[in-house]
Structure 1
Amino acid sequence: MRDKIWELAKTRNITLPPEAPDRFEMYYRQLVEANRQVNLTRITEPAEVMIKHFLDSLEVLSACREFKGPLLDVGTGAGLPGIPLKIACPQISLTLLDSSKKRVSFLKDLVSALELENVTVIHGRAEDYARQDDYREQFPFVVSRAVARLNVLAELCLPFVSQNGYFVAYKGPEGATELQEAQNALSQLGGAPGKEWRYQLPENMGERSLLFLRKLETTPAKYPRKAGLPEKRPL
Structure 2
Amino acid sequence: MTQHDLKKRLEQGALQMQIELSTAQVDLLIQYVTLFHKWNKTYNLSAIRNIEEVVDRHILDSLSVFAYLPQGAQRFIDVGTGGGLPGIPLAIVRPDMQVTMLDSNGKKTRFLFQVLLELGLKNAAVVNERVERYQPDMLFDGVISRAFASLWDMVSGCEHLLHCEGFFWAMKGVYPQSEIEELPERFQLEQSYEIQVARCDGQRHLLKLSKQSA
Output the TM-score relative to the length of structure 1.
0.82
- Establish whether residue 80 from structure 1 lines up as the match of residue 94 from structure 2: no
Q: Distance in 1 between matches of 2:9 and 2:72?
A: 24
Residues 1:50 and 2:55 aligned together: yes
Instruction: Give the match's secondary structure for 2:20.
Output: coil
Q: Which stretches of structure 1, 4 residues or more, deviate above 4 A after TM superposition?
A: none
Q: Deviations over 1:53-74 (max 9, x none)?
A: 1111112222245474211111
**How big is the alpha-carbon RMSD for the aligned residues of Structure 1 and Structure 2?**
1.9
- Aligned position for 1:11: 16
Shift of 1:166: 1.2
Q: Match of 1:213, as an amino acid?
A: L
Give the Cα separation in 1 of the matches to 2:72 and 2:55. 22
SS of the equivalent of 1:73 reads strand
Task: Report the TM-score when normalising by structure 2.
Answer: 0.89
Query: SS of the residue aligned with 2:127?
Result: strand
Unaligned runs of 5+ in 1: 219-235
The answer to whether the Cα contact below 8 Å between 1:53 and 1:80 also exists between their aligned partners in 2 is yes
CA displacement 1:155-193 (0-9 Å, x = unmatched): 1223212222111011111433322222xx2x24xx321
Which residue number in structure 1 is paired with residue 203 of structure 2?
207
Out of 80, 94, 109, the residue aligned to residue 114 of structure 2 is 109
Cross-structure match for 1:197 = 193
Structure 2 equivalent of residue 152 of structure 1: 153
8 A contact 1:200–1:206 mirrored in 2: no
What's 1:62 paired with?
67
Please, which runs of 5 or more residues in structure 2 have no aligned partner?
1-5
Q: Tell me the distance in 2 between the aligned counterparts of 1:114 and 1:199.
A: 28
Letter in 1 for 2:101: L
Residue identity matched to 1:167: F
For the 8 Å contact 1:23–1:87, the answer to whether it is kept is yes
Residue 19 of structure 1: CA displacement?
Answer: 0.8
